[in-house]
Amino acid sequence: NAGVTQTPKFQVLKTGQSMTLQCAQDMNHEYMSWYRQDPGMGLRLIHYSVGAGITDQGEVPNGYNVSRSTTEDFPLRLLSAAPSQTSVYFCASSLAGGFTSSGNTIYFGEGSWLTVV
């Protein structure tokens, strides 16, 4: 049971380049999400998914795209990287999102440090 696997761990991009951050979970979780963490700020939601084929925007979606073709995978695409997207990105998953359950622990990936120059 690997939990949430996030790759790459570190990446440097040039402005205008595109890339995909990969996220996979092996716990059959319905809910998956992407956050960015910036200095002095709490984690902010970029996009989320409540199941295969269903995605929605979070607080800071501009410049990012997601898809959820399978339950396991939830990649985050940067369409045209900008210096403002320099951040640490976290993928997370949980069994379900909208209700309180004693088993509804959130699992995070190890983080991806992205620098856009």
Binding site for another protein (CB under 8 A): 31, 33, 35, 40-45, 48, 50, 56, 58, 88, 90, 92, 94, 96-100, 102, 104-108, 110-111, 113
Contact 33, 47 (CB under 8 A): yes
| CB nearer to another protein: pick between 74 and 90 | 90
Amino acid at 14: K
Residue 1 C-beta-side C-alpha neighbours within 13 Å: 5
| CB nearer to another protein: pick between 14 and 102 | 102
Rounded to a whole number of angstroms, the minimum distance from the CB of residue 16 to another protein is 27
Contact 93, 25 (CB under 8 A): yes
Strand partners, 78: 19, 64
Rounded to a whole number of angstroms, the minimum distance from the CB of residue 80 to another protein is 26
* Residue 87, token pair as written in the block: 């951040």
| CB nearer to another protein: pick between 17 and 61 | 61
